[in-house]
Amino acid sequence: MLVAGVPLRAAKAAAPARVDSPDTFEPGDVINNGHRFFGSVSRGLASVVEEATRRWGRPNGYVLGQEASGAFIGGLRYGEGTLFTRNAGDTHVYWEGPSVGFDWGGDGARTMMLAYGLPAVDALFTRYVGINGSAYFVGGFGMTALAANESVVVPIRSGVGLRLGANIGYLKFTPEATWNPF
């Protein structure tokens, strides 16, 4: 079900052309690794990954990790995980970011992020802007799209907690942990 497609349409315009190269991941590879990562809650994962693949093509990287967030009008999100690529190996990454909007609550989530159009691992380490609260939801999984330069990152989250509302913000990826979301 599509709640509102504003961020997905905006990121689609910034999305790179579909490339089916050996450096990208087949949807089945991503789904299988996601099932292992998310465990028993992964029933809706295949539908969300298929929708992302339909919109942006095959990812050339993906992150598996966990994050926590909280908000009362303004919010913060912190996470860590591993970026998997076919041509550059695995890299530990961190992300953090502020948000502002009509938003309150807190949550903890296991997160898979599909990465599209990354020219190199270091290109991930920047700010990705997007709107949360308007996304594609299937089987307990939520998908939003964040864009920076020619790259798109699509976080897919499943977790516990209660966070309601809509906000605008960004995620900043870093190679080392930091408390500074700016």
User: In this structure, are residues 126 and 173 in contact, taking their beta carbons and an 8 Å threshold?
Assistant: yes
Structure tokens at 97: 């970011």
Q: Kindly give the pairing relationship between strand 61-84 and strand 146-148.
A: unpaired
Give φ, ψ of 81 to 5 degrees: -175, -165
Per-residue confidence (pLDDT) for residue 3, from 0 to 100 = 33
In the chain, where the domains are located: 21-127+152-160+168-174
CA-to-CA distance for 61 and 54, rounded, in angstroms?
16
- Is pTM beyond 0.85? Reply is no
Per-residue confidence (pLDDT) for residue 43, from 0 to 100 = 65
b/e map of 80-93 (b: 16 or more CB within 10 Å)?
A: bbebbbeeeeebeb
CA-to-CA distance for 104 and 43, rounded, in angstroms?
27
CA-to-CA distance for 92 and 104, rounded, in angstroms?
29
Other CB atoms within a 10 A radius of the CB of residue 134 amount to 16
Per-residue confidence (pLDDT) for residue 35, from 0 to 100 = 67
CA-to-CA distance for 151 and 165, rounded, in angstroms?
26
Give φ, ψ of 133 to 5 degrees: 100, -15
- Report the SS3 class of residue 168: strand
For the four alpha carbons of 49, 161, 166 and 180, in that order, the dihedral sign comes to negative
State the amino acid at position 158 in one-letter form: S
Give, for all 182 residues of the chain, the pLDDT tens digit. Answer: 333 333 444 444 444 545 567 788 888 777 777 767 766 556 677 788 888 889 999 999 999 999 998 988 889 999 999 999 988 989 999 999 999 988 888 888 889 999 999 999 999 999 999 876 544 455 567 788 999 999 999 998 877 777 777 888 899 999 999 998 88
Among 105, 110, 103, 85, CA closest to 168: 103
